[in-house]
Amino acid sequence: MRWGRLRFACINYWKWAKVQFMSLEQYLNEQGNSVEIGLVLLSEEWQVLGMNEHALRIADPDIGPIGQNLFQMHPAKSREKVRGILDELSGQQGAMPKSMVIDFLGKVLMISLSRLVVPNSPLAWAVSFMDLSEQTGARTNPMSGHLELKKMPIYEKGAFHFLSADQVHLIEADGNYCRIHTRTKKFYLLMSLKAVLQRFPTSDFLKVHKSFVVNLRHVQAIGPADDSRMMVSFHEPAIPAVPVSRRLVPAVKKALASTGTVHPRD
């Protein structure tokens, strides 16, 4: 492909993308932060055909990313995660851009994937991304090496939600996602339950079951259900009660009792 045609495609896509992201830019500008959006143009086989300056700075021009397969630009241990993200986004239906918020390579990124239709051109996909590390208070723990966040980044229907730990009542595993229960809504977050506990190391979060993490501040009681299983219930009626794994019952009772607000029911 001639550079002129590629440059023309980049410019036209960039104009379209700025309109799509306008609400996001307005939101972040209200936070007093500048916004930079990275753009990567890809072939059907995920070969990198072009990048804007912001993406090139992050990729490091010394590695010569143009012409490479996208997966080869990432460490070997990260390639399957990158492939999974792209498979997830490209498999969704509809012509609008598909987006998700992920933590990746020490940063918190909002990634959007769009299908391109450029006649007589190998261009097939456009990946854009925004760095939300500052908005989420991201930092790498020098002891564990894990990326830790102060706020959960949720992207839903063109709007960002940065949830503090206190806003979260219950976290429920759902495949590769977690379902985040707040007082009024449920959100999806592309993190495993294990990753959530690593990213948000607050003493308020307690794993009570392989599929559930509760916020101790919002728990009302722990006690047996009709089928004799131990269940945790919440002050907020809209939050469903969840089971406690048998082996975790003593630890959960101890943690709840230490808060001084919950008294176990035997």
Question: The tokens of 98 are what?
Answer: 């598909």
Specify the pLDDT at position 19: 33
Specify the pLDDT at position 20: 34
pLDDT tens by residue, 236-251: 999 999 999 999 999 9
CATH of domain 3-136: 3.30.450.20
Band (pLDDT 50/70/90 cuts) for residue 69 is confident
pLDDT tens by residue, 117-138: 888 888 888 988 888 888 888 8
For the chain, give every domain's residue range.
Answer: 3-136, 164-258
Please give the class, per CATH, of domain 164-258.
Answer: mainly beta
110-124, 145-159, 160-174: lowest mean pLDDT where?
145-159
Question: The tokens of 59 are what?
Answer: 């990729």
C-alpha 48 chain-centroid distance? 24
